[in-house]
A and B are shown apart, each in its own frame.
Chain A
Amino acid sequence: MLTRLKGGHVVDPANNRNGVGDVFVSDGVVVDAPTDAKAPDETIDCTGLVVMAGAIDIHSHIAGGHVNTARLLLPEWHRAFSARPGETALSKVGWTTEETGLRYAEMGFTMVVEPAMAPSSALHAHLELADTPIIDKATLVVLGNDDLMMSMIRDGESETAIADYVAWTVAASRALGVKCINAGGSAAFKENVRKFDFDDVVPDYGVSSRQIVKTLQKAVTGLGIPHPLHVHCNNLGVPGAASDSIAATIRAAEGDPLHLAHIQFYGYGDEGKRRFSSRAQALADLVNATPEVTVDIGQVMFGQTVTISSDELRQFAGSKQASPKKSVIFDHEANGGGVVPMDYKARSFFNALQWAIGLELFLLIEDPSRVFFTTDHPNGAPFTAYPDVFALLMDRGVRAKWLDALPSSVKKMTQLPELEREYTLEEIAVMTRAAPARLLGTPDRGHLGAGAGADIAVYRPNDDKAAMFGKAAYVLKDGVVVVKDGTVVRRTLGRAVTLRPEPDKAMKTRLDRYFDERYGVSSRWFEVPEGALRRDDPFEVVPCRA
């Protein structure tokens, strides 16, 4: 069946297209315009509309043990037996896998990456993802605070052995990449360490955060995993120490690819009478000068949300600021983690400056293919706040209006009012489509060239960018129209995109023994078998780089 999206303004920077034209779709794939006069079976009139590839969110916590704990901690936000309060952004998320899929699709997103899957909760995460409709999914598996990795580094094991362990973990947990969260910090936390810098050493293991990050980076690069090591740096949110940590980590990239997550939380200095200031300029300059790194922002937006993180040390410190006053801290193997509800207030100097720092970074980092659009859902804001973030990036007037509502003390501490840059549609398409597909190593996504998967978002242009990106006019997933005028019309099921590196057989034997001796469980406990998801074709395997 041939479908023609007719006469839309096609914005496809990956193929240098930015103008009025047609897009043809056949059997779920974008195809070239047919040369014969064959009439399309279906024509979607896109005259006056903007046609883009489906958007990709590279960092959004939508599945796994910690997300579920947040649901349990905050039952008052998803009461089945009473209408949800309409006023909080989080209530629109609805918390269920079902609504996660539908709400993302309505905004034109067709792929979302859960960035923090503990190896021990891989099956749980994939079961939740399999239950999330329409969108495609992927996961990053967390390593770096686990006993085996740190022991291998301490014992000076070979790069090959470590790479084999990483390969086994990625393959067993069906991940698309590797993340490391406060490398060594969570392990040190268990020895009563409460502050952990990039060159600090984990007690008992004698390895530093730097060693862990460098070792993992080398393993990921060596295995040809397309997505660079995804790093959540030390000292998240600590004024002064945060920006020092991220600067040290960026310098440690040393020419090899590295991705830094939610850098807004690291753009904090300790100047000013409240000992809290913006270091966005310095951080953006460093990112601009270091071409091998990519970053995502983790924009803060105002309103009630909940922070979900495997950075146990950070969440323990942050639990004192919980609002409402309740939180959960896990102290379990490897990373542990914490769930702390947070209410970002526009009238709070600190929260308002966090908001401004995120936008400063978005606007000061020059290359839209190296800065990614995230709120670190739900840590900075729930993903339902995305339309407002698009409006803030694309419209100075909107920024000025938001700034007016902030405390005057904040305006003195940010250069945001002077920043004139407005993201163009093409830059938005690079940041949310072309670049994420390249970063994740999924070449048939993020563009509309022949051979690409027919994941397409069509928007109705509007001066109000929030309205434009909040409700897509049409969304096609694998060539099927799933959203019309911002409402889901067809509920399809996407797949989880994974790698399948082949680990060495000897590593498998060694891990069988290790898990049996240390934990008394079989290593199969960590594996996600295809049959467990009770679906035909739950996975799409993409290759590692040769």
Chain B
Amino acid sequence: MTGMTFLKTQEPEERLDLSALVPARLKGLSSAEIARIAIGTSRRGVVVGDVFAVSGDDPSVLRFAGGSPRFDRIGEAMAGGEITVEGDAGARLGRMLKAGRITVTGSAGMHAGSAMEGGVLRIGGDAGDFLGGPLAGETMGLKGGTIVVGGRAGERAGDRMRRGVICVAGEAGDGLGSRMIAGTIVVGRRAAGTPGRMMKRGTLILCGGAERFAPTFVDNGPADILILKVMASAFAQGEVGEVPFDGAPMRRLGGDTAVLGLGEIFLPL
């Protein structure tokens, strides 16, 4: 089998920083050198060999056989290649991803796809809080690329998002698309709290409705517009795949008028 496999040999006793395990950093290293890469975050000095059995020799395709919610920073700033995690991933999965593809079969922790600039991030299970969001102090969240979540997303998904697409099949937590600058978020089921609070521009398509909206959103009534159909078919043919809307008329809200007010939210009629 091509690629390189990191077989989890034991559950780590501390959170691990796996940001070093990206194709560009592993290229040209022998398996002994890879086994010595430090990944620990405590005084114990954990290295790759303590947690993983490494096999294979092509680091452009990486596979983690067995995941853990303690595997932080997988694929950070990756500029090309492919990573698959069979299991869960920890915090900051695919943060600042520039290109390439990351697939997680289980769930991911906080800040998955944070400040991502391109590429594709797929999470089979649930995503933690601040999906695609910025870290404290940063001015932009998701800046490009595609994030697809099979389960539910935590609070504040798409916070300060600037560009790109987030598609969540399940529910979304409080504050979806908060402070959004631009971009598109599609949610299959209900969005909790007040989605889109302080959004300047951007589009939220909430196929399962929302708990409530901030009073600074304006109801524009039903919108029978072609773009919904165009988007649905474009998504279906692209990385996002089938989406839970089909171009039928939807109710449109404009906002957040507390800020720029050029954002829009679509709801089922």
How far is A270 from B123 in the complex, measured between Cα atoms in Å? 56
How far is A416 from B59 in the complex, measured between Cα atoms in Å? 52
Instruction: Type the 1/0 row for A142-165, where 1 means its CB is closer than 8 Å to any CB of B.
Output: 000000000000000000000000
Residue pair A324, B136 in contact (C-beta under 8 Å): no
Residues in A with CB closer than 8 Å to B137 are 73-77
Residues in B with CB closer than 8 Å to A73 are 137
Q: Does A332 contact B (CB under 8 A)?
A: no
How far is A79 from B138 in the complex, measured between Cα atoms in Å? 11
Instruction: Type the 1/0 row for A73-92, where 1 means its CB is closer than 8 Å to any CB of B.
Output: 11111010000000000000
- Among A310-368, those with CB < 8 Å from B are 324-326
With CB as the reference atom, state the residue of chain B lying closest to A83: B17
Residues of chain B at interface, number, CB under 8 A = 5
How far is A73 from B139 in the complex, measured between Cα atoms in Å? 11
Q: Does B214 contact A (CB under 8 A)?
A: no
How far is A251 from B245 in the complex, measured between Cα atoms in Å? 73
How far is A75 from B138 in the complex, measured between Cα atoms in Å? 8
Residues in B with CB closer than 8 Å to A79 are 135-136
Residue pair B136, A75 in contact (C-beta under 8 Å): yes
A460 to chain B, nearest CB (A): 34
Residues in B with CB closer than 8 Å to A76 are 135-138
Q: Name B's interface SS.
A: loop
How far is A519 from B137 in the complex, measured between Cα atoms in Å? 34
A-side interface size class:
under 10
How far is A326 from B139 in the complex, measured between Cα atoms in Å? 8
Instruction: Type the 1/0 row for B113-136, where 1 means its CB is closer than 8 Å to any CB of A.
Output: 000000000000000000000011
Residues in A with CB closer than 8 Å to B138 are 76, 324
Residues in B with CB closer than 8 Å to A75 are 136-137
Instruction: Type the 1/0 row for B139-180, where 1 means its CB is closer than 8 Å to any CB of A.
Output: 100000000000000000000000000000000000000000
How far is A21 from B136 in the complex, measured between Cα atoms in Å? 55
Residues in A with CB closer than 8 Å to B135 are 76, 79
Chain A CB within 10 Å, residue with most, of B135, B136, B137, B138 = B137
Residue pair A325, B136 in contact (C-beta under 8 Å): no
How far is A423 from B138 in the complex, measured between Cα atoms in Å? 42
B63 to chain A, nearest CB (A): 26
With CB as the reference atom, state the residue of chain B lying closest to A74: B137
B120 to chain A, nearest CB (A): 25
Residues in B with CB closer than 8 Å to A77 are 137
How far is A75 from B136 in the complex, measured between Cα atoms in Å? 6
With CB as the reference atom, state the residue of chain A lying closest to B19: A82
- Among B226-247, those with CB < 8 Å from A are none
How far is A74 from B136 in the complex, measured between Cα atoms in Å? 8
Instruction: Type the 1/0 row for A47-77, where 1 means its CB is closer than 8 Å to any CB of B.
Output: 0000000000000000000000000011111
How far is A74 from B138 in the complex, measured between Cα atoms in Å? 8
Residues in B with CB closer than 8 Å to A74 are 137
How far is A76 from B139 in the complex, measured between Cα atoms in Å? 10
How far is A325 from B140 in the complex, measured between Cα atoms in Å? 10
How far is A73 from B137 in the complex, measured between Cα atoms in Å? 7
How far is A76 from B138 in the complex, measured between Cα atoms in Å? 7
B42 to chain A, nearest CB (A): 13
With CB as the reference atom, state the residue of chain B lying closest to A78: B137
- Among A290-309, those with CB < 8 Å from B are none
How far is A324 from B138 in the complex, measured between Cα atoms in Å? 8
How far is A540 from B137 in the complex, measured between Cα atoms in Å? 39
How far is A326 from B140 in the complex, measured between Cα atoms in Å? 11
Given A324-B138, A325-B139, 13 extra CB contacts under 8 A: A73-B137, A74-B137, A75-B136, A75-B137, A76-B135, A76-B136, A76-B137, A76-B138, A77-B137, A79-B135, A79-B136, A324-B139, A326-B139
- What are 8 residue pairs bridging A and B, where the CB atoms are less than 8 Å apart in the complex? A73-B137, A75-B136, A75-B137, A76-B137, A77-B137, A79-B136, A324-B138, A324-B139
| Those 6 A-B pairs whose CB atoms lie nearest each other, nearest first | A76-B137, A75-B137, A75-B136, A324-B139, A76-B138, A74-B137
